[in-house]
Amino acid sequence: MLLAIIIIVVVLTIFVIYPLLSTRDEDKSVLPVDVTPAADLKRRRMVVYENLRDLEFEYKARKLASKDYEALRDSYKAEAARLMVASQELEHSTAEDRFIEREVATRRERMRDKIAESYACKKCGFNNPIPVKFCGNCGTPISDAKAKSSDE
């Protein structure tokens, strides 16, 4: 009976809370800035370091047997090392992403230069940044040979 009541309460809670949470998520639609994977890894590493410091303190206060202390210390250090590696891998991958973004931006710029060259206005000299039939500045028909060939 108690179990049934608990289940009902849990189900009701989910049905009441979940819509509230989901509408709030829709309003925000983005995560808070400080909950990036990098920040999360750093926060977890800080927690491990804090635990290590507490452990050290407890050991010095003779609250811990040296065997327990060593086992705990080793596991904390392993965890800190694991988090550090994960942080470095993440940093490396974002650096790679930035490199790719830069490459794409450069290529896009080159493409834009090419278009501007092809669709330059002979009357006013304006470099139309997008393929156009008429100059965006003065309205003169663009009759560039390159523009025609790519148009037809």
Asked if residue 140 binds Zn ion (CB under 5 A), the reply is yes
Spatial neighbors of 44 by CB under 8 A, at least 6 apart, are 83
72 contacts 27 by C-beta, under 8 angstroms: no
Mask: binding to Zn ion, 25-64, rule CB under 5 A, as x and -? ----------------------------------------
Q: Which is nearer to Zn ion, 34 or 113 (CB)?
A: 113
Asked if residue 138 binds Zn ion (CB under 5 A), the reply is yes
3-state secondary structure 41-97: HHHHHHHHHHHHHHHHHHHHCCCCCHHHHHHHHHHHHHHHHHHHHHHHHHHHHHHHH
Q: Which is nearer to Zn ion, 41 or 142 (CB)?
A: 142
Asked if residue 135 binds Zn ion (CB under 5 A), the reply is yes
Asked if residue 147 binds Zn ion (CB under 5 A), the reply is no
Q: Tell me the three state secondary structure of residue 133.
A: coil
Asked if residue 81 binds Zn ion (CB under 5 A), the reply is no
Note the residues at the interface with Zn ion (CB under 5 A).
121, 123-124, 126, 135, 137-138, 140
